[in-house]
Structure 1
Amino acid sequence: MIMDVVIYHNPSCGTSRNTLALIRHAGIEPTVIDYLSTPPGREELAAMIRGAGLTVREAVRENGTPYAELGLEDPALSDDQLLTAMLDHPILINRPFVVTPIGTRLARPSEAVLDILPADAFMGPFVKEDGEAVLDENGRRLV
C-alpha cells in the first residue's frame, strides 16, 4: 500500500515498536523519525499536538523524563513554555506520534494508530509484543 505515513519513534519504547509493527502490518513502510535525535520543529510539534486533538500539556511525557525536576507540573506554565521544554528535552515529547493523510494520533495505546490507517489494509492477525491480540485472523480490530 502506498501511503505517506510518518512515525516519531523511540526504538526503546514498546508502545512505539508495536505501533511501527502495526503500520508495517498494513503493508506501509513509514518514514521513521527518531525524535530523540531529530526532534520536530516548534510549529511541526504544535501542529501534531493540535492534529491529535490534544492539549500541549497532554502531549508532555512525565515518566522517565526531567518533568518534575524542570517544574513542569506548574499549571501556570503556558503552552509556549511547555513546547520550549519539549524541544529542549525531546524525551518530554510523548510517543509515538503518527501522521497520515487520514489524521494524526498519539498512538497510546499502540492500536490508536488503527484510527488513521486504511481499515481494509490489514490481512491476518496482529499480536503485540506482550501477547495482546489487536487484530483477528481476518485483520479486524479486536480492541
Structure 2
Amino acid sequence: MTAPVEADPHLAARLRIAVARLYRRIRLKADMGVSPLQLSTLASIEKYGPLRLGELAARESMTAPTMTRLLALLDERELIVRSPDPVDARSTRVALSEAGAALLDEVRSQGTALLDAWMARLPEEQRAALAAALPALEALGTED
C-alpha cells in the first residue's frame, strides 16, 4: 500500500503556471512563423476538419468575423484549402493544405527538440519524475 500524498493547496496553481511558462518558453524559442492563434486554428482544422467557418469559430471561441480575418491570413499563406460544402452550397469548408500540415509538423518537431534538449539537462531523478507524472498529465489533457 502506498503512503497517501499530502495535499498541496497550491498544486493546481503551480501546475498551471509551470505549463504556461513551459509553453511560452517553447513558443518563444521555436521559430513558428505563425501566431499562437493561427497555430491553434490550424491544429483544430487538422483534428476536426474540414469545417465550416462557424464551426471553426465556435471551436476556437471567437466570432465569425474574427475567424474570417484569420482564415484570410492562413489562405494567403496557402496553409488552408477552401472547398464547397457538399450539404450547403452557400457555405465553404476549410481543410488543412499540404503546406499547413507541413508547418504543423515542423512546429511540433521544433518544440519537441527544444523540450528534449532541456530535459536532457535535468538530473535523472527529475526526468524519472516527469516520466512517472506523464500518464496523469495526459489524462488531464483529454477532453471531457
- Would the TM-score normalized by the shorter structure come out above 0.5? no
Q: Which has the higher helix share?
A: 2
**Structure-1-length-normalised TM-score:** 0.29
**Structure-2-length-normalised TM-score:** 0.29
Q: Which has the higher strand share?
A: 1
